[in-house]
Each structure stands twice: as structure tokens, then as C-alpha cells.
Structure 1
Amino acid sequence: MIYRILPLILFCVFSFKPLNVIESTKNKINATDPKLIAANIKATFEAKAKLCFNVIDANGFSLPTFDSFIAAFEGYELLKQQGKIQNEILTIVDFSLSSTQERMWVIDMKNQKVLLKSLVAHGRNSGLEYAKDFSNTNESFKSSLGFYITGETYTGKHGLSLRLDGMEYGINDNARNRAVVVHGADYVSKSFIKNTGRLGRSQGCPAVPYELHKELIETIKGKSCIFIYHPSRTYVAKSKLVS
């Protein structure tokens, strides 16, 4: 009888691996799974973004939404790694908000503090109270989403102004040719909102109040980062700086 059972016992012994071996094998497979790796990277990045967001000194202002911040933070970190940012200021413009709200935040990323918060205009063909349509095309008079690096200052018809370089091909890289710049405008004011029920609109520039424009430009000039946000699926699909 033993001769009949022995082969079965031996088969069982050599067929089943110890649990620790099985777990080790699973871990090795998981460690090389591209989806798992991507998920781990995303989770790590989100934790880093939340940590950064939670320690920002609002300085008496409200903070931007976390959705707009995490998108801005992702592109900011990539552009910084590429050596394109020299002035560690991140400006977030949230075009998902009404133009009657202060929807521009200027954040000192080095010292983790909000420096300024302001009204900001969108392009006249992007929408009335809300910005809904965006373009990278000349004479469209629409705003362009995405990441910009601030360039040099100059004095134009709006006074002190700041040139912008769009960092995203096909999304905002035509900013220089379109003369999309930061400048002051009298139609960006609380009195204009009171009289019309909305903010005035630009030809595509992120125009700001005259009383603030010089301080703002002096703060963000010299290769800082501006991110114009909107929860647009079209933008996310095209962008290489947000995921």
C-alpha cells in the first residue's frame, strides 16, 4: 500500500512552493508591471503635491483649488527640472471661475507663500463672464491654456508689459506672435464688474488691474511660470506637461 501512496506524497512535495516563494514571485511580477509602476508614481506625486499645498501660507488670501494647483505643480516641476524656470514663482490663473472673482494667484514656491491675488481678464472671444473657448491662432482674440515662461518687460500702449513664451506646442506656443502679454487694463476692475455684471475682456492677454500691474510684473518677470487652468479634456489630451 505504501508504494501506491509514496508517489502521490512526492508529487505534492515537489509541486507546491512555499508561501514565501510564491509571495516573492508575485512581488517580482508586480514590480515590473507598467500599470502598477505608473500608479505608484502617480500616488507618490499626489502625496508630494498635497504636502506642498498644505504648507502654503495663504497670507490672508484664499488658496486656489487643489485641482488647479496639482496640475500647475506637475508642469512647474517638469519645467524646473528642464532648467526653464529661474524665478521660483508660480502664477495660477483659474479660468474655470467667473471673471467677477479674483482668479489669479501668485505663489512664491521657494518660501511657500501667496504673494498676490488678483482679477484677470480672458479673451473677448473666449466667453462672456466665463472663459469657455480657447485658441492658439492669430487674430482669434481667445485665451490660450497651459504653461508659460515669463520673458522680458517693455513699455507699450498699456504701459509696463511683460512678454510670455508658451511652453506647449499647438496649445500656446504662438503667444509671442499673437502678442499675448501681461499688462494692465482699465476694464479689469471692480467698478467695471459693478457696471456690467462681468469683467472686461482682452484680445487674449491675461490683463490685470492697473493698480496692481507694476507690482505683479516686477514679481513674476525673469523666467517664472504662469499656468492658465481650465478643466478641459481637450487640453489634457494634448498637453505633455499634465497627466
Structure 2
Amino acid sequence: MKKAIFLFICALCTLPLKAQASDSHENSYTKIEDHDVLIDYVYKEANLKGVIDYQVFKKGYNAYFKTQSRKKQLLTIIDYSKPSTEKRFFVIDLKRNKLIYNTYVSHGVNSGGRVATRFSNTVNSRQTSLGTFLTDTTYYGGNGYSLKLDGLTHGKNDNARRRYIVVHGADYASEAFIKRNGYLGRSWGCPALPRSLARDIIDTIKGGSVIFAYA
């Protein structure tokens, strides 16, 4: 059985990304049992049990699979159901089936305190948006090196550009801040990362990878 699954995964990985996302290929292997086998395989191979909730990973993987415009075999999951004092930002390399980053990430100042409970797509709400995002290009702005995002979920995050929702580093998104204050600092809606990791993460996920924000 394991050998059969391995051959199945290898066959998928040899196809180009556009082929993996096409309707014809989707019909060839996304019968529910096959798709679940694939998700189970990646979850186990990446040693995600006890790190990311399986159902959250499944939703994130499905969002990745449905995003035909993706250009990288990377999936970032932000699990806002977890408090900000936990590492809830995950970057998974789906080519190597490996978790490559797991760190802290902020939520919007109007989304809640230690736990985010309110979410918005509205300009100037200063709340976090949920749904599927696609990463774009980088720039230097008021928060330093930053990554532009396009919101792909209609009505939930498709105002990301208008709201200037970007990935950036921040001093308040660090473990040191938590130790001093008992909680992580909050942004105006951006997923802010620890400055020590922000550039490396941004350079890894920029240019067409999927981010799935869940709560």
C-alpha cells in the first residue's frame, strides 16, 4: 500500500504546476478517496501531526489546489484560531513535503486581544482578513521590506490591495514582546512576522505562492 501511494505521489509531482491545476487533470485524480489519500500522505510526510490541525491543513491544501494561478509549490497556513502567543504561521514546501517555517504572526488591532475573534474585508477596519491569498512582489515601505498580497476570496479578502494588507516584519511580532507583555503586538490588519525571520520568509514565499488564513 505504501509503495502504491509513493508511486501515486511521484506521478503527480512529475507534472507541471499548470497541469496539476487544470480541469482535465483535476478530474483524473480528485475523486474524494484519491484526493484524501494525497492530503493524508503530505500531512504524514511533513510530520505535521501535533503541529497543524489536520482539518485546517486539509482546508489549506484544498485552497492551494484550487488556486490555478499559483507559481510555487509552497503553502502558507495562518491559523488564527490559535492565540497570538502561539506559533501559528506555517510555511510548507509541497515539493519536498517539509515544514520549513513555523513562527509567530500578528492579527489586526481591532480583531481582538490575545485571540482574534473579529475579521473584516473593509477598508480602514484594522481587522484581519481570512481566506486565500496569492503572494506577489516585494517593496520597501513604512514597515520596511514588505510583500504584496492579492486576496482571492470574494467578499472576505479581495480588498487586500486597497487595504494595503502586506506581509512585513515588526518588533511587536516577537517572542521577546510576548515575554514582556503577555501577548503579541497587533497590526492594522497585516500578518506581521518577527523581524529576524521576515526577510527570509518573504523571499521564500514571494512571487505566486498561496497563503490560507483560517479561523
TM-score, normalised to structure 2, is: 0.83
Alignment of 1:1-243 (within 5 A): 41-57=31-47, 63-79=51-67, 82=68, 84-230=69-215
Report how far residue 102 of structure 1 moved: 0.7
SS at match of 1:192: helix
| Cα shift at 1:191 | 1.7
Tell me, what secondary structure is at the counterpart of 1:102?
coil
The residue type equivalent to 2:70 in the other structure is: I
C-alpha deviation, 1:62, in angstroms: 6.0
Q: State how far apart, in whole Å, the 2-side matches of 1:52 and 1:216 are.
A: 21
Alpha-carbon deviation of 1:44? 3.8
Percent identity of the aligned residues?
A: 42
Query: What is the distance in 2 between the residues matched to 1:68 and 1:125?
Result: 24
Where 1:176 maps in the other structure, the secondary structure is coil
Match of 1:4 in 2: none
In the other structure, the counterpart of 2:7 is none
Runs of 4+ off more than 3 Å? 40-44
Partner of 1:188: helix, strand, or coil?
Answer: coil
Q: Match of 2:187, as an amino acid?
A: S
Kindly provide the CA deviation profile for residues 147-185 of structure 1, in whole angstroms up to 9, marking residues without a partner as x.
100011000111110000001110100000000000000
Amino acid in structure 2 at the alignment position of 1:70:
K
Deviation at 1:146, TM superposition (A): 0.7
Q: How far does residue 78 in structure 1 lie from its aligned partner after superposition?
A: 1.1
Partners of 2:196 and 2:169 in 1: CA distance: 8
Cα RMSD after superposing both structures: 1.6
How far apart, CA to CA, are the structure 1 residues paired with 2:172 and 2:38? 39
TM normalised by structure 1 equals 0.73
Report which of the two has the higher share of helix: 1
Deviation at 1:47, TM superposition (A): 2.8
CA distance in structure 1 between the partners assigned to 2:194 and 2:42 by the alignment: 29
Residue 12 (structure 1) aligns with: none
Q: Distance in 2 between matches of 1:51 and 1:189?
A: 33
Task: Choose 1 or 2 for highest CA Rg.
Answer: 1
In 2, distance between residues paired with 1:131 and 1:145? 11
Structure 1 CA distance, aligned partners of 2:205 and 2:107?
A: 19
